[in-house]
Structure 1
Amino acid sequence: MHPAPDAPDTDVLKRQLQRANRVARWKALGLVAPLLIFLLVTFVVPIFSMLTRSVHSPVFGDIFVETAQVIGEWDGTGLPDETIYAALVADMRQARADRTIGQAATRLNYDVPGTRSLLTRSARRADRLEAPYSVSLPALDDRWADRTIWAAIKRVSSPVTATFYLAALDRQFDADGSIVLAPEDQRLYVRLFWRTLLVSALVTVLCLLLGFPIAYLMAHLPPARANLLMILVLLPFWTSLLVRTTAWIAILQTEGVLNDVFVWLGIVSDDGRVQLIYNQIGTIIAMTHILLPFTVLPLYAVMQGIPPSLTRAAISLGATPARAFTRVYLPLTTPGIGAGAVFVFILAVGYYITPALVGGRTGQLISNFIAFHMQESLNWGLAAALGAVLLAAVLLLYWLYDRLVGVDNMRLG
């Protein structure tokens, strides 16, 4: 009788299994590492930089060093004492010599419009000022006797600021540091946010109304015709977005194709052509056309997986075709409706090229003003704050959608 072989050591097997699992995890991490790095560099880092710029603006304090050190002791009541005036004059002289006065003046102008010329003009004459500066500086320009200017200097001397977010919400600080509404002629951005959300919601609804019948036909036509319809749906993706947008300009303008057809049919007179471009109507029409495929494709993916026998079974049990559609078929398409609506709405909220080309004055969205502050006014802090507010609004709406509808309804099939 031969003895039975020894059983393998369970501890050794566990260590081998753990080692194999670690190797598998490292291999999996190596496979997804390029994607993670790409997302980190192109998504996470820009968003973090944007959020940082919206609250961090140390330019004025880095240039007017002495002023930033002493103005913190001012309690904000009355006017500053001679020490603060002297520090400001010394900093103006140094900044003019270093050729950095324009940067500091621009930062101050973000808080109080019109102060850039005040600071640069005073800096040019700072060498001729004599003590006491609390007298000679207001004599140079009486705005230096305005407490609002000094309150703004105290705010911009700090590297951390809430000014940009207040401006994005049409608010500002007063001389006492309280948050108040901006002047009527400066209240712009809240209205733009509402316009952006309303236009995006309307475009989403139009895409669903137009895309649902197209997706339904694609799901129920014979394969050859469905493939042809799919090519027509995908055809816009093969054309540049800029070309598609400029094509709508040719179609919608006063002397364009659509108005010529209206005149030919007698709908309008030649003198009463309809203004369809450079307003919200043009923006909505062009955006609906461009974003329509993003609704059709999710709907088609869901409808293709719905068995036709379900509707036929409902009709055989006594339901009318309309009732079978609304009670059986339509609820099954909810995942596609939800996914298409989310895709289109998020894309519409951040659209830039189409509103810029066809929107005119009343069709501009918040993204156009973000681009304006990034490229022309160079107020990157305000642009970052506008972007952050827009991002927060989109995340809030997505959270509400998740609570009301559920993420599971976005799964295709």
Structure 2
Amino acid sequence: MRRTNWLAALLIAPLLLLILGSFLVPVGLTLFRAVQDREVAQALPETSAILAAWDGQGLPPEAAFAAVARELGAALEARRIGDVAQRMNFARTGMRSTLLRTARAAERLRAPYAASLVALDARWGQAETWLLLRSAGGPVTSLYLLRAMDFTQTPDGGVVQAPTDERLYRTLFLRTFGISLLVTAICVLLAYPVAYTIARLRAPWSSIALTLVLIPFWSSVLVRTTAWFVLLQREGPVNGALLGMGLLEAPAQVIGTRIAVVLALVHVLLPFAILPMHSVMTRLDATYLRAAASLGANGMQRFLRVWLPLSLPGVLAGGAMVFLLAVGMYTAPALVGGDRDQMVAWFIANFLNRDVNWGMAAALSAYLLAMTGAIVALARILTGGMVGARG
């Protein structure tokens, strides 16, 4: 028995290593970026050490002014000033210009540095600036996680709500889950009769119908979404058909609306709802239906009291799969949605590609992962563990 266990462990080990190396470790390291805070400490180590010993009252000692001038100049020469400026500007708008101006003027600054820095930029005469630098000394920070929930840190370390014009992430999460739930409901309602019909067909028609369901997988999500972009244009086929039938007097603006996003997502994700339902329905024992009929149940009663409960695991599995894919969808909202229709994935990609702010991207990813995990766990509890279970 022990020898068999060792053999099984050796056979499973490569798969475990693959999962660990290609999924768990990269995801864990990415999520750690949500709390990592090393830019200032690496570029300004002496300044960070002096500010860590500072009591936060008034202005720091002359040594801090001298250290920040010297180290900002060195960071500029080493081309590391960009990371520091971006990190501090995220904490307080305007810090980028202060740090860059100081770094460029570092060689011209002379003692006493307190007076020289204040003369160069009045921000250096404010305790708030130094408190912000101290709070960015790392090695970890809650700044990104707070911002991702529309909170921010005060210079003295307190937590307050972000300014009104910067509160958008809670609304963003609500929008993402709202669109995902709507798409999931539509997919389930459309997929159930399709899966039921395919499951009741005889060969070879059932195989042909199932192949038609799988055809969308032959093209990428980008291609299918682009097709909707073409179809829904003001001069596209959909508007042309509606105008031809007299249902519209002028072309409707559908691209850039929530309707376009929902249509594209339903089209992309519908097969993911059909397949789990079909898988469960094809394994249902028709004996139960015949037994119900022999007891006097009509067609509707047999469906509601026998077929539907037995097929519910497939419905829940399909719905869960659609929902999990929808909350992380980027392509469809980016192509056919407007500014008010973008979901969390679009903002994550924007922070990675345009702003190069890995901390905010990781924070949004962490919340998205936690929230979807909580929803799936809640669904499992409410359905007695059927979501995620084998049908």
Indicate the TM-score class for this superposition, using the shorter chain for normalisation. over 0.9
Q: Where does residue 313 of structure 2 map in the other structure?
A: 335
1:376 has 2:338 as partner: no
1:139 has 2:123 as partner: no
The sequence identity of aligned pairs, in percent, is 43
Q: Where does residue 14 of structure 2 map in the other structure?
A: 34
RMSD: 1.7
Residues 65-123 of structure 1: per-residue CA shift (max 9 Å, x gap):
11101001223333323232222122223223333222221221221222112101111
Residues 164-208 of structure 1: per-residue CA shift (max 9 Å, x gap):
111111111112321111112222222111111111111111110
SS in 2 for 1:407: coil
Q: Following superposition of structure 1 onto structure 2, how do residues 32-181 of structure 1 map, counting pairs within 5 Å?
A: 32-181=12-161
2:234 to 249, 254, 262: 254
Residues 34-62 of structure 1: per-residue CA shift (max 9 Å, x gap):
22122111111111111221111212111
Do the aligned partners of 1:59 and 1:159 also contact (CA within 8 Å) in 2? no
SS in 2 for 1:306: coil
Q: Where does residue 198 of structure 1 map in the other structure?
A: 178
Once the two structures are TM-superposed, the CA of residue 340 in structure 1 deviates from its matched residue by 0.5
1:32, 1:218 → 2: CA distance?
A: 36
1:361 has 2:339 as partner: yes
TM-score by length of 1: 0.90
SS in 2 for 1:180: strand
Do the aligned partners of 2:117 and 2:124 also contact (CA within 8 Å) in 1? yes
Once the two structures are TM-superposed, the CA of residue 384 in structure 1 deviates from its matched residue by 0.9
Residue identity opposite 2:270 in structure 1 = L
Q: Where does residue 16 of structure 1 map in the other structure?
A: none
Residue identity opposite 1:326 in structure 2 = L
1:133, 1:392 → 2: CA distance?
A: 47
1:285 to 263, 267, 280: 263
Do the aligned partners of 1:302 and 1:335 also contact (CA within 8 Å) in 2? yes
1:390 to 355, 361, 368: 368
1:171, 1:22 → 2: CA distance?
A: 55
Moved over 4 A (4+): none
Residue identity opposite 2:102 in structure 1 = S
2:165 to 185, 204, 215: 185
Residues 114-154 of structure 1: per-residue CA shift (max 9 Å, x gap):
21121011111122223332222122112223333222111
Indicate the larger mover: 403-412 or 344-353.
Answer: 403-412
Do the aligned partners of 1:248 and 1:286 also contact (CA within 8 Å) in 2? yes
Do the aligned partners of 2:195 and 2:275 also contact (CA within 8 Å) in 1? yes
Residue identity opposite 2:121 in structure 1 = D
Residue identity opposite 1:204 in structure 2 = T
Larger Rg: 1
Once the two structures are TM-superposed, the CA of residue 288 in structure 1 deviates from its matched residue by 0.7
Q: Where does residue 404 of structure 1 map in the other structure?
A: 382
SS in 2 for 1:406: coil
Q: Which structure 1 segments of 5+ residues have no match?
A: 1-20
1:319 has 2:294 as partner: no
Count of aligned residue pairs for this structure pair: 391
Residue identity opposite 1:373 in structure 2 = F
Do the aligned partners of 1:253 and 1:275 also contact (CA within 8 Å) in 2? yes
SS in 1 for 2:160: strand
Do the aligned partners of 1:110 and 1:379 also contact (CA within 8 Å) in 2? no
Residue identity opposite 2:194 in structure 1 = I
Indicate the larger mover: 28-37 or 65-74.
Answer: 28-37
Once the two structures are TM-superposed, the CA of residue 309 in structure 1 deviates from its matched residue by 4.0
Once the two structures are TM-superposed, the CA of residue 284 in structure 1 deviates from its matched residue by 1.1
